[in-house]
Every structure is written in C-alpha cells, then in structure tokens.
Amino acid sequence: MTRVLLLAATNSYRAGAFLAAARRLGFDVTVASDRAQALAAANPLGHLTLDFIDVERASAAIEDFARRAPIDAVVAADDDGVVLAAAAAQRLGLRHASVEAARAARDKLRMRERLARAGFTEPWFVAVPLEGDPAAAARRVPYPCVLKPTQLSASRGVIRADDAWAFERAFHRIVRLLSVERRGGPVLVESFLPGAEVALEGVIERGRLRVLAVFDKPDPLDGPFFEETLYVTPSRLGPAAAAALTETTARAAGALGLDDGPVHAELRWDGRRAAVVEIAPRSIGGLCSRALRFGDATLEEVLLRHAAGQPLDDVQREPRAAGVSMIPIPRGGRLAAVRGQERAQAVAGIEEVRITVPVGDRLVPLPEGARYLGFVFARAESPEEVEAALREAHRRLEFDIEDDRHAPTGAAHHGDPPPA
C-alpha cells in the first residue's frame, strides 16, 4: 500500500481535497500538521505534529516516523510546508525538488537573485532593509515600482508606488504588517511589469515541465494592490504566447533548481515577451484547484500520482473551459450576513458558490488580509462564457459588513470586478 505524507497547516484549504484524492487512489495518508489533532491518539500512523519552521528537527522526526510506517511520497498542501517537504523527501530518498530550490522559490529576493544570475533581466529590483531609510530608497528607484515582503504569499503586502510619497507610505505599511506577523525583511522593490497577468500550472518530471493549464486573469492587476479575482482557462492569448509562457516558466524553474514536483508560475505577457512575477514549488492555492479536471481525476490526484512515481502520460485537462472567481473582501469590519447565494448559483454555467468566511468573522482586506470571502466555480464551452457566468454570479452576491464597533454600515454589493 502506498503511504503519502501530507504536510498541511491547520488552516489549509487544500488538506481535504488531498485526502479525498488519496482515498480515490487507494493511498494511505499520514497528515503532518503544525498542531496536534484531536483524533491523533486513535490513529497514530495517520497523524504527526511538527514545527514547520524548524525544518531540520521536523525532517528528522519524519525520518524517525518512516521507520515505523514507511513513506512512499511527500506532498505539501500549501506554501507553509514546501521547504519541509523537500527536506523530508531528501532524507527519505524520495522524488522532490531540492531543499535549496524550495528555499529559493519560497523567498522572493532569493528568487530574483537566482533568475538574474541566469540572465533574466526583468524586472529591475533592489532589497531595502526594514531599518533602512525609505526616503533615500525612494529617490533611487524607477517608477512605477512594486514593493513586497519577501516571504508572505497571496499578494499580502504587495503594493504599487508611482512616486516617492507613495513609496514611503507603502514601505511603512509593509513594515507594520511584518511586525504583526513577526516576520523579517527586507522589503523587495521591483520595477512594475506591464501587460496581462497569467498563471501557469504544471508539474516537472525529472527536469521536464508538463503544462497542466494556463489561466488568464481577465481583470487588470495594475495596483495599487494586487488582489486576484478571476482565473479562466484555457488562455485566450494564443499559441505564440502559450509557447513563450511555457518556455519562460521552464527556464525559470531550471534556474531555481526546481527539477521535480508541482510549479505554479505567475507571469506577465506584454504581447511580445513573458516575464516572471513569481514561481512557487506547489500547486494553485486555496480552493482554486477545483477549476481543474483531468478526465475523472482532480489536480490533487495528479500530484499524488506524480509524487508516488506513477507516470502521467495519460493526464490531459478536460476540453471544456473552466474558471474560478475569488471573492475579495471589499472593506474591513465583521461579516454580518451573506445574501444572493441561490441567485448566484442559478446562473447558467455556475457549478458551485462556496462562502468560506463564517458570519461573525472579522474581515481584513488586502494588502494586510490573508483570505477571500469565498470562491465561485464555472464551466462552459468557451472561456468567454465562463468569464461572463462568473461576473454575473459575482454581481448577485451581497455582503452585510458591520464596522468594528458593530454599527451597521448597510449592504455591500461586491459588484462586478473591474471590466476586463
């Protein structure tokens, strides 16, 4: 029986999908989490509690565990576990990208330095220490530019600045966020990359990139914050763009040392060239993987098969178009009520409307926030139909948000995302 070690933080959206995929494949699973699970004592081979930050100690604990319950594959559900997954796989002699490659991809500054050494000339970048002088830095950077923390994910702390005044405000905002998160610096500053943003989902098999999907992001991501909304596949940019995006992702992965395992790349396409925004050694985040089907298989099944050493020659994305709308938080406060879910679900092409924030929870929008209100999924015959369905479903949703003093502020239509 194949046993998979699944590294999933307590707040992981993806753990359930991987567990369901493992059941369909007939794999046994040991879930390694950062907190003790209530039923761990009843199933000692099914649970493992680890400190994901202390990679050396945690990977040694995994090696010790594997002596009692041999492990055939290691998979990280989210960003939090990718470095530990690489370290554990290295100790156990299992297929995975190296620890150094995972660290380089996980750290935005290391990633830029590696890519620059490999000949990637865009974007221009510089690192500014948290204790540095933002006014002095603001005088020497090109505009527009983008400031970002080096290790947060999901666009947290990513802010565009068009002049020195905006630069200083963005810098101080990021410093405050990192202080709250108890994270270090520096702040990475990059020149703003123009063009359409796309996402490429793939898996690398012994150094060769297999593209699983290319997503258009129809809403312009031009700042000042970079909140993602729509993902639609297949891409409408055309074969020349797809070839350039694939080649750029493969070169970037190679430069980072990512020679085995999943990759999720964010790129910009300006009509002539593809430029890397980020590349991560994991699959698409949140619940977005539900937008992908490969025959009867889910993305999680594909990734588990790969990690277990099974061939993927038969893997091909379904012919229908598909997409997901990530519902951003429109403003801070507390979620008092959600309305319009049935109306949104009734839109032709909509498969599921999933609100993931419980009523009563406090809402924090980007760039400080770390989650979405929910997800909407659609399928249709064309990308245009998928996009239209997602926008209409999005328009029908309403969120009542109270301020932090519980004073009602009225109904907030999330409304249409900005026009494509």
- β-pair partners for 213: 201
Domains and CATH numbers, the chain: 3-104 (3.40.50.20), 123-191 (3.30.1490.20), 320-420 (3.90.1170.30)
Q: Which of 45, 95, 42, 48 is CA-nearest to residue 70?
A: 45
Is 242 in contact with 250 (CB distance < 8 Å)? Answer: no
The pLDDT of residue 10: 79
The pLDDT of residue 329: 95
CB crowding 163-182: b at 16 or more within 10 Å, else e: eeebbbebbeebbebbeeee
Strands (E), 99-150: 125-128, 145-149
φ, ψ of residue 133 to 5 degrees: the values are: -95, 105
Question: Helices in 209-282 by DSSP H: which ranges?
Answer: 239-256
- Cα separations in angstroms, 107 against 54, 101, 110, 124, 279: 16, 10, 5, 17, 10
CB crowding 201-216: b at 16 or more within 10 Å, else e: bbbbbeeebebbbbbb
* Alpha carbons 200 and 182: distance in angstroms, whole number: 31
pTM: 0.91
* Alpha carbons 380 and 196: distance in angstroms, whole number: 23
What 3-state class would DSSP assign to 32?
strand
The pLDDT of residue 416: 34
* Alpha carbons 160 and 14: distance in angstroms, whole number: 30
The pLDDT of residue 413: 39
φ, ψ of residue 143 to 5 degrees: the values are: -120, 145
Q: How many helices (H) and strands (E) does the chain have?
A: 11, 22
What 3-state class would DSSP assign to 316?
coil
DSSP summary character for residue 417: P
φ, ψ of residue 188 to 5 degrees: the values are: -90, 130
* Alpha carbons 133 and 67: distance in angstroms, whole number: 52
Q: Which of 19, 22, 14 is CA-nearest to residue 81?
A: 14
Give the pLDDT means over successive 10-residue stretches in the chain (420 positions).
Answer: 92 88 96 77 79 94 95 93 96 94 96 97 96 96 97 92 98 96 93 97 95 97 94 97 98 97 97 96 92 96 96 94 96 96 98 96 93 96 98 98 62 37
Take residue 204 and report the two structure tokens written for it: 């690398």
* Alpha carbons 224 and 46: distance in angstroms, whole number: 44
- Cα separations in angstroms, 80 against 53, 75, 96, 385: 8, 12, 16, 35
Place of tokens 């209100």: 373
The pLDDT of residue 100: 96
